[in-house]
Structure 1
Amino acid sequence: MVNTIVFDFGDVFINKNSKAKDEALASLGLTEWNEDLEELEKQLETGVISAKEFLKGLQPYTDNASLEAIKEAWNAGIENFPLYRLEFLQKLATSYRLFLLSNTDPIHIEKFEHDSGASFYSDFYQCFEKVYFSHEIGIRKPDEGAYNYLINNHDIQPKRTLLVDDKKFNTDAAEALGFKVWRLQKGSEDVTELFDKKIIPFNEA
């Protein structure tokens, strides 16, 4: 029986729009995301480089855009976090151990916290036994080290743990380690449908 749920953040709780981000970056002259930029993003998401170093790294690929303009474009894909999802999570926290495990960066988290306000994001974080952002722990999903970080630090049993994520490579990696998984389909499913879809029964905890 499941007693623990590990959630992703983007497109599970907070809505994202990658097209809006791509269009905003393209308007600054950055039209192609190459391997070097992919590596730069990985370094940001694993805490190897700072937000400022990342923005400076993007700058040569733009039409000499300012760091502030690049930051704004990078955040263009961060959208809203509906209140009903927070309310659902608050109820869920009374019955399950909850953790947040997200591949993200300090620029996006700063944007989320600024837009949502201290009361909202504090209520959100308090739903979890622990919040883990990749840039803080130095490792990203689907690297098994990210999942083992949770297992080793919190005495988690994968067979009694559900991982909710919208990326197939993340759920595949977790499933290989023995986790139960729900790959949430962005646009057609909502995290609040967890029990409606009978992923786990509500009274299982």
Structure 2
Amino acid sequence: MINTIIFDFGAIFINLDLQGTVNAFKKLGLTEWNEELMHLNSQFETGKISRENFLLGIQKHIPNSSIAEIQTAWNAILLDFPLYRLEFLQLLSEKYRLFLLSNTDAIHIETFEQKNGVSFYSDFYSCFERVYFSFEMGLRKPDLETFKHLISNHELDPKRTLFVDDKKENTDAALSLGFNVWNLQVGEEDVIHLFDKKII
């Protein structure tokens, strides 16, 4: 029987426009998100470089754009966080141990908090026994060490734990360690339909 649920954040609770940042950067003159930029993003998401160095790293590819324009483009992916999802989570937190495990960076989290306000994000975070952001952990999914970190830190039993994420590589990694998983299909499914899945 499931007693613990680990949730991803982006596209599970907060809505994302995956093309938003791509389109915004195109307008600034960035033709492709190449390997160098992917590495830069990975470094930033695991807290290995500062926000300044991350933004300057992107600016090298679009030198005619300001740091402010680049940061705005970077945040174009972030949309709304529907209240009904928070209310569902609050009910869930009364019955299960909950954790948040997100590949994210300092800019996106700061923007989410500023946009939604202290009351909202405090209510959200308080639903979880612990909130894990990759830029604070120094680890990111689907690295198995990320999941092992939670198992050892919180004495989790994967067989009694459900992991919910929209990316298959992440749920596949969790599955390989014995977790129950829900690879949520964005646009077709909503986290509030968790009980309809009959996995808990």
Under a length normalisation based on structure 1, what TM-score does the superposition of the two structures give? 0.96
Letter matched to residue 37 of structure 2: L
* Identity value in percent: 62
Secondary structure in structure 2 of the residue aligned to 1:2: coil
Query: Residue in 1 aligned with 2:169?
Result: 169
* Aligned partners of 1:28 and 1:63 also within 8 Å: no
Query: Residue in 2 aligned with 1:44?
Result: 44
Shift of residue 197, structure 1, vs aligned partner:
2.2
Give the distance between the partners of 2:31 and 2:120, measured in 1 at CA: 35
Pair 1:88-2:116 in alignment: no
Letter matched to residue 106 of structure 2: P
Structure 1 runs, 4 residues or longer, greater than 3 Å off: none
* Aligned partners of 1:98 and 1:128 also within 8 Å: yes
Pair 1:9-2:5 in alignment: no
Give the distance between the partners of 2:45 and 2:187, measured in 1 at CA: 25
Pair 1:66-2:55 in alignment: no
Give the distance between the partners of 2:156 and 2:52, measured in 1 at CA: 36
* Aligned partners of 1:29 and 1:63 also within 8 Å: no
Aligned pairs, how many? 200
Shift of residue 145, structure 1, vs aligned partner:
0.6
Shift of residue 60, structure 1, vs aligned partner:
1.4
Shift of residue 198, structure 1, vs aligned partner:
1.5
Query: Residue in 1 aligned with 2:113?
Result: 113
Give the distance between the partners of 2:31 and 2:88, measured in 1 at CA: 39
Pair 1:128-2:109 in alignment: no
Letter matched to residue 176 of structure 2: A
Shift of residue 192, structure 1, vs aligned partner:
0.2
Give the distance between the partners of 2:145 and 2:64, measured in 1 at CA: 38
Query: Residue in 2 aligned with 1:57?
Result: 57
Query: Residue in 2 aligned with 1:145?
Result: 145
Query: Residue in 2 aligned with 1:203?
Result: none
| Uncovered stretches (5+) of structure 2, i.e. residues with no partner | none
Query: Residue in 2 aligned with 1:25?
Result: 25
Secondary structure in structure 2 of the residue aligned to 1:100: strand
Shift of residue 20, structure 1, vs aligned partner:
1.2
Give the distance between the partners of 2:199 and 2:74, measured in 1 at CA: 34
Letter matched to residue 142 of structure 1: P
Give the distance between the partners of 1:112 and 1:30, measured in 2 at CA: 25
Shift of residue 87, structure 1, vs aligned partner:
0.1
Give the distance between the partners of 1:13 and 1:92, measured in 2 at CA: 14
Shift of residue 63, structure 1, vs aligned partner:
4.4
Give the distance between the partners of 2:34 and 2:84, measured in 1 at CA: 37
Secondary structure in structure 1 of the residue aligned to 2:181: strand
| Uncovered stretches (5+) of structure 1, i.e. residues with no partner | 201-205
Shift of residue 187, structure 1, vs aligned partner:
0.3
Shift of residue 111, structure 1, vs aligned partner:
0.8
Shift of residue 40, structure 1, vs aligned partner:
0.2
Letter matched to residue 120 of structure 1: F
Letter matched to residue 91 of structure 1: L
Under a length normalisation based on structure 2, what TM-score does the superposition of the two structures give? 0.99
